Amino acid sequence: MNKFNKFLSLCFQFICALMIIKNSFAADDKFTHPFYVGATGGYGATTWAGLVPNKDNQNLAMSLSTPIKVTEGGAIWGAFGGYEFNKFFALEASYNKYQDAKIEFDEISIFNFEHDGLTEFTTRTETVTLIGKVMLVIPKTDIRLFSSTGVAAVRRQDIIYNDWKATPTFGAGLNYNITPRIMTEFGANYTAGYGEAQLSPTDSYLPFLYSVFFRLGLRF
């Protein structure tokens, strides 16, 4: 949680610094360049811990099929690009890479039996998304609030599962054009996952993804 607070503090300081830089530019229409590309950084969680039973439900039967410990969450990074049809609507594509998660099992688990004595594996998660963004300009400012919805192709890659699945994704936040060519954005995103009730839930589980992010982009 301390890392998350530090990230928010750095984002706030960075935005303040950029707003100061903005004042050195002459007033101009900030929305004359509809194409944009940029980089994303932030914090994300992959929710693998939801497969670990709480202490009240831990028993021998559960240890056979479910993980006993999960290490996950951390920095995310990616890239994005889009086109603004006007001040209020845009289409956008993006790629995001989440922190790898380590999933650990008991020595008597089915996973251990099926994978030659292994008790853990590392899984990778990445997404490619296509969204529509609806934006609202805050009166007397160049700040815009936005909400987004679309489809995400989520990839889970590890020794059990290596495939992509399409799921819905949703986001919200605010963006600000510091100059006609430089844009910033701060927001949060949720991408749906997938799971089945089965003896070994990790076999088909696709993590539900949460993130907060900061973006810096160029318009042209």
The domain in which residue 84 lies consists of 2-219
**Residue 204 maps to which CATH number?**
2.40.160.20
pLDDT for 94 beyond 60: yes
CB within 8 Å of 32: residues ≥ 6 apart:
180
Backbone angles phi, psi at 169, to 5 degrees: -140, 145
3-state secondary structure at position 33: coil
CA–CA separation, 166 vs 219, rounded Å?
29
Q: How far is CA 180 from CA 88, 125, 175, 183, in A?
A: 16, 34, 13, 8
Structure tokens at 179: 């100059």
| Contact (CB, 8 A) for 44 and 76 | yes
For residue 28, give the DSSP letter: -
Q: Where is average pLDDT lowest: 8-12, 22-26, 101-105?
A: 22-26
Q: Alpha-carbon dihedral of residues 166, 155, 95, 86, nearest 10 degrees? A: 10
Domain count along the chain: 1
pLDDT tens digits, one per residue of 21-35: 545 444 446 678 899
pLDDT cut 90: percent of the chain above it: 74
Q: What is the 3-state secondary structure (H, E, C) of 27-46?
A: CCCCCCCCEEEEEEEEEEEC
Residue 188 sits at the vertex; the CA angle it makes with 167 and 181, to the nearest 5 degrees, is 105
pTM for this one? 0.84
Closest CA to 146 of 178, 179, 186: 186
| End-to-end C-alpha distance for the chain, whole angstroms | 37
Largest CA distance in the chain: 69
pLDDT at residue 106, as a whole number:
94
